[in-house]
């Protein structure tokens, strides 16, 4: 479970009683798509005929442009997670990253799930003993992709939820 029991109002849009602006919601979605997209090949190389994770990433990008509804983006995220369930290893985590990214349209706090699953996917590819180092490098890459407007929000979210995200945000 990557969502806290109590929702952080910073990840709830203003129209729903929180403080998240729509522009920042879209930036969170794009960052999540970048995180998931960075590891997508770990799924596609093992499952080249299954386009569900790619569709979720493409869908969340389309949502940010106003070309796809929230419900459709969320559904694509769910389909990507369905692709993950019967498999294991890096491919599974990469598909979950894509699914989490797709669901950011519905719940902005899924942005951290996309990042965490991407780090887990990279860790799975490492030879024995090197997973933590590869995970740290992936986390650093993700930090480099953060837009300035949401940087502090995401870094604070990582600090607050690192424990429920398997401790992957320790750089």
Report the 3 state secondary structure along 55-68.
HHHHHHHHHHCCCC
Is there a domain that residue 29 lies in? yes
Tell me what pLDDT residue 117 has: 98
Is there a domain that residue 3 lies in? no
Instruction: Read off φ and ψ for residue 20, nearest 5 degrees.
Output: -80, 125
- Residue partners of 51: CB distance under 8 A and separation at least 6: none
Distance of CA 10 to the CA centre of its chain: 17
Is there a domain that residue 171 lies in? no
Tell me what pLDDT residue 1 has: 60
DSSP character for 15?
A: G
Is there a domain that residue 132 lies in? yes
Q: Residue for token digits 């003993």? A: 129
Is there a domain that residue 4 lies in? no
Q: Angle at the Cα of 44 (from 76 to 94), degrees rounded to 5?
A: 65
With both helix axes pointing from N to C terminus, report the angle between 148-161 and 22-44 in degrees, rounded to the nearest 10: 70
Is there a domain that residue 36 lies in? yes
Kindly report, residue by residue over 63-82, the tens digit of the pLDDT: 999 999 999 999 999 999 99
pTM of the model: 0.96
Is there a domain that residue 2 lies in? no
Range of the domain at 132: 9-165
């Amino acid at each position: 479970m990557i969502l806290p029991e109590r929702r952080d109002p910073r990840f709830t849009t203003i129209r729903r009683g929180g403080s998240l602006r729509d522009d920042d919601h879209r930036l969170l979605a794009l960052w999540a798509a970048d995180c998931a997209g960075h590891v997508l090949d770990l799924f596609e190389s093992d499952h080249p005929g299954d386009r569900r994770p790619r569709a979720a990433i493409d869908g969340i990008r389309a949502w940010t442009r106003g070309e796809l509804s929230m419900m459709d983006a969320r559904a694509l995220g769910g389909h990507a997670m369905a692709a993950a369930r019967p498999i294991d290893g890096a491919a599974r985590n990469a598909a979950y990253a894509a699914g989490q990214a797709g669901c950011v349209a519905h719940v902005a706090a899924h942005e951290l799930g996309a990042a965490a699953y991407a780090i887990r996917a990279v860790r799975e590819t490492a030879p024995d003993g090197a997973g933590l180092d590869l995970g740290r490098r992936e986390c650093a890459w993700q930090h480099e992709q953060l837009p300035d407007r949401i940087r502090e929000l995401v870094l604070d979210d990582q600090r607050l939820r690192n424990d429920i995200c398997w401790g992957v945000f320790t750089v």
